[in-house]
Amino acid sequence: MEKEPLKYQRLREEMVRQQIEARGVADPAVLAALRRVPRHIFVSEALRDQAYGDFPLPIGEQQTISQPYIVAEMSQALQLSREDRVLEIGTGSGYQAAILAQIAYKVYTIERIRPLYLQARRLFDELRLFNIVTRYGDGSKGWDEESPFDAIIVTAGAPTVPAVLLNQLAVGGRLVAPVGNQHSQDLVKIVKEKTGTRQTSLGGCRFVKLVGEHGWKEP
């Protein structure tokens, strides 16, 4: 990969200090990952100078790359260790998976839109992120044959957390997902315990909808 211009390193550092640390994200591994991953390569060339702004950006196919703070907040909520195996539902641009790959042992990520799947796979190879395993298909079903996972992150809004995903979460595992209607959601964190699950709210959010067998139906 070509050496990146210094301006992107500067913009990335400003993003972490002003948007992430200033809002209370303090996990050292998450902050280091955000400083390392070149967010600008996950958007179109026309949008690269906006990549480190405090907002989501379109990536085509009516999908978006999430606001940096949301990526940081969800990553921190997963409480990842270097030994963890993580499942991501909705690869999208690939940026969230690239962040997780800096922190966890292995990331499994599923995308249902083929052009996004192919583009993300190309970027992972370019960045030499060989601990990311990709799949093209319906993410709402999870990835049963690779379960259980230590953590699951859902990057699209669903009416409820699909039970099939909770079934694929290990005891002690953490799941973070936006839950609500098609226009606004509540970001929830669920911890799976031996006797059941414990759920907390991380606040309001707005994601594209999770389309699939266990999410919203195709229009």
For the chain, give every domain's residue range: 6-205
Q: What pLDDT score was predicted for residue 219?
A: 63
The DSSP letter of residue 17 is I
CATH superfamily for domain 6-205: Vaccinia Virus protein VP39 (3.40.50.150)
pLDDT class of 209 with cuts at 50, 70, 90: confident
How confident is the model over 82-94, as pLDDT tens digits?
999 999 999 999 9
How confident is the model over 17-59, as pLDDT tens digits?
999 999 999 999 999 999 999 999 999 999 999 999 999 999 9
Spatial distance between the Cα atoms of 55 and 69, rounded to a whole number of angstroms: 9
Q: What pLDDT score was predicted for residue 218?
A: 74
pLDDT class of 194 with cuts at 50, 70, 90: very high
How confident is the model over 140-179, as pLDDT tens digits?
999 999 999 999 999 999 999 999 999 999 999 999 999 9
| Mean pLDDT for all residues in the chain | 94
44 classed as catalytic: no
Distance from chain centroid for Cα 182: 19
Most distant CA pair in the chain, distance: 51
Q: Please give the model's pTM, rounded to 2 decimal places.
A: 0.95
Secondary element (H or E) of residue 59: strand 57-60
Q: Which of 66, 75, 140, 147 is catalytic?
A: 66
